[in-house]
Structure 1
Amino acid sequence: MTLAPERAAAPAASVTPRSSTDHLLDTPLPQLLAEFRVDVSELPIPDPAFTGGTYIRKDGSMLFALRAGQPDAEREMIARAMLGKALRVPMPELPEPYQLTEL
């Protein structure tokens, strides 16, 4: 299920001026996803240890794969952390047992 519509590509440089920790933490998540061209898909993964993954496309847009049925607070925290990691913006540490791994 796609939660955000496909958007026209914009140059990757357009994301840098507003890429700050405060911006990523304070802006409503739907606004951030639109601003940074992030599409979200829910995956029917029954394993609660899987919280999400990020794919960065060649045009700079992103796809977040999140677990279907994930609690809203977890989804919010993971999406913001993945966005910060993808944009190379310093973000607060995630609480245990969460962690981000870059492949």
Structure 2
Amino acid sequence: MDTPLPQLLAELDVELVESEITERGFTGYAHREGGRLLLAMRPGQPALERDCVARALIGRALGVTMPPLPAPYKVTCLAAA
């Protein structure tokens, strides 16, 4: 997971898009869309935050054991009913 983020996204066929959610406390979410992993991240997000959160979301989605994110960040999994 130390591969540069653009390369990691390409290798794993993950699409990163700008979210319509612009609230400062929101960092991003991941979901599967047609079998492809989609990451939606807050516009204007600092580069380091985007990189760390994107990797955490990808790791969680792929079942990779990842170290916890530093406070105040956390990954929450929601399942569709």
- TM-score, normalising length: structure 2: 0.90
Structure 2 portions without partners, runs of 5+: none
1:85 aligns with 2:60: yes
Higher RCO (CA < 8 A, seq sep 6+): 1
* 2:30 counterpart residue number: 54
RMSD value over aligned CA atoms? 1.1
Match of 1:63 among 20, 38, 57: 38
Matched pairs, number: 78
* Regions of 4+ moved over 4 Å: none
Match of 2:18 among 32, 42, 50: 42
Q: In proportion to residue count, which structure has more strand? A: 2
Alignment CA distance shift 1:33-1:46 (3 Å): same
Larger radius of gyration: 1
> Distance in 1 between the 2:45 and 2:20 partners?
10
> Distance in 2 between the 1:36 and 1:57 partners?
14
